[in-house]
Each structure stands twice: as structure tokens, then as C-alpha cells.
Amino acid sequence: MRAPGPSGRQQSSVAPIKDGQNKTEEVKKQIVAGFIVFRRTDEGTKYLLLYRRGGYWNFPKGHFEQGENAMDTALRETFEETGLKKEELKIIPGFKTLVRFHFKAGNMTVHDTVILYLAETRQAHIMLSPREHSGFAWFLYPDALKILGRYMGTKRALMEANNFLKVKNNPRRANNFGNRQRFNQNQRPAGGS
């Protein structure tokens, strides 16, 4: 089986390896793409998380199809999983993050690389694909972090998105942070000449 990489090129996705006991285990590498979707409410910024059976929450994302680049895949998968059309998403320029993780599926180890973009929507209603997800919710940032639980890579991506939005929404905050860093670096020790 072959899967296109982020550039659209094909890359091998399954390879057998032998462990120390001469058992053959398959390793699958896959790249997927999706969006961290948010909307602004009176309560604050809320992030969309999709629920899969078994207590697993995540962002809309999925596998590349032939000829797609990462953005095309992210848009198509977000539409398929949520019903949100490209026109209903305001893609936030300058944000892109990667999440890498692995898991076991039978005798196969799957190494995932997830490319995530950031997009805003005004649509609160989501139309789930029942074969992929069994629920969804919009969470304020602290609640979303709690819901993501032990999935540290996904939590890190959410933290990056939230911080990106804070700086984007308040450019003075970014400048003040930079000025404070320069001041601290140039500050002389107490009692120095």
C-alpha cells in the first residue's frame, strides 16, 4: 500500500521488521492532515473536538487521496467528518503544526504524522459522519485540554494554536514579550558597574 506524502509524492507505508526474537512485525507509516477548528462565542474561543468510540477525542483529520496536497486533504476530511465546507472556514495564515505518534494494531505498529492547520468557523452545528465519529462538542480551551487527556501531542498542538491566536489577536502582547526578553538579556547583575 502506498500513501502520498505532504508534497503529494508516493511513499512506502508498510515495511516488515524483525524483533529480537525473529518474529516479523509490520510497520506502517502514514501521513494525515486536518484542522484545529475554533469559533468565537460570548463565553470565549471554543475548539471543536470529535469523539470516537472508546473515549478518544481528536480534531477532524484523515488520509491523503491521490494527487492531494496537505491543505486539500485537510479541507476534504474536515468536510467529510463535520460537514463544514471550505467557504465556512476562515483558514488562519501562518499556522501549521505536526503531531507524531504511534500505536499498535494487531501485529502492526503504525507511525502517524498529523499535519494540522488552524481555521475559524461561525457554524456551531456539525454534521458527523457516523461511520467515523459518534459525537462532537465545542470546548473552551481549558476544558479541551482536559478532554484530550493523555494524548500529549494533540494537547501540544492545541496549546500552540491557542497561543498563536492570543498573539495574533493582541500584537502588542508579542511585542511586549520581545521587549521584555531583550531587556532581561541586557540587564546587568545587581551591584555591578
Which structural domains are found in the chain, ordered by start? 2-183 (3.90.79.10)
Q: What does the pLDDT average to over 7-14?
A: 42
Per-residue pLDDT tens digits for 42-59: 999 999 999 987 778 999
Q: Are 154 and 148 in contact (CB under 8 A)?
A: yes
Per-residue pLDDT tens digits for 85-133: 999 999 999 999 999 988 888 888 889 899 999 999 999 999 988 778 8
pTM comes to 0.76
Identify the pLDDT of residue 25.
73
Exposure pattern of 20-33 as b/e (b: 16+ CB <10 Å)?
A: eeeeeeeebbbbbb
Phi and psi of 55, rounded to 5°? 80, 25
Closest CA to 98 of 160, 183, 187: 160
Per-residue pLDDT tens digits for 119-177: 999 999 999 887 788 789 999 999 999 999 888 999 999 999 999 999 987 766 544 44
The rounded mean pLDDT for the chain is 81
Q: Are 133 and 81 in contact (CB under 8 A)?
A: yes
DSSP 31: E
Q: Which residues contact 42 (CB under 8 A, 6 or more apart)?
A: none
- For 101, what's the count of Cα atoms within 13 Å in the CB-facing half-sphere? 14
